[in-house]
Amino acid sequence: MSSRVQAEQHIEVHKFYAGAVVAVAFLALVLQAFLNKYGTWAGLLELPLLVTIYFALSRRNPSTGLLLGGSIGILQDAVSHMPIGIYGIAKTLVGYVASSLGGRVDTEHPISRFIMVVIFYHFHEAVLALLNRVLLARPATYFSWKLLIASAVNAGVAVLLFPALDHLRKPS
């Protein structure tokens, strides 16, 4: 058991420059809102989700991930066509689970980042489908080819975006 405690002590919790998280989240929300005007291809990309996953995995604190996911989700609800709270609930759950998992999984390797984004994208969409069916009484399908393509697109973007966001970390 003492070896497990030692292993957990070596997990690095990343800190970011002041305002970096807020600025990146704001930029992701603005880009998401404006990209949807330029075609259906932009509907495949979910930048606020990628930002939520990245910072939740990096901070490795479930309460921080929960609050970050909830904040980004509520703001995304405000600029989207969804009722207020739907994205907030989904991203809160993603932020909590991602930050809980961040301390247990290698989050620096591109392949693990790709796989985690695919899994979290599907989890996010499953929560949205459940909320649409249960709370809004709207028909919602969970699995489709568009979902599979969108998860691969988001994971590919994450593999390129996450190293760029790594530059916002404070040196340890």
Q: How confident is the model at residue 171 (pLDDT cuts 50, 70, 90)?
A: confident
Strand partners, 169: 16
Indicate the pTM of the whole model: 0.89
Q: How far is Cα 123 from Cα 36, in angstroms, rounded to an integer?
A: 22
Residue 64, H or E segment: helix 62-79
Average pLDDT, the chain: 87
* Assigned fold of 2-166: Arp2/3 complex 21 kDa subunit ARPC3 (1.10.1760)
Q: Which residue has the higher pLDDT, 5 or 171?
A: 171
So where are the chain's domains?
2-166
Confidence band (pLDDT; 50, 70, 90) for 10? low
- Cα four-point dihedral sign 47, 52, 53, 55: positive
Question: What is the amino acid identity at position 140?
Answer: A
90-147: pLDDT as tens digits: 999 999 999 998 878 777 889 999 999 999 999 999 999 999 999 888 888 788 899 9
Give 26-37 pLDDT, tens digit per residue: 999 999 888 877
pLDDT of residue 3: 45
3-state helix, strand, coil in the chain (%, to 5): 75, 0, 25
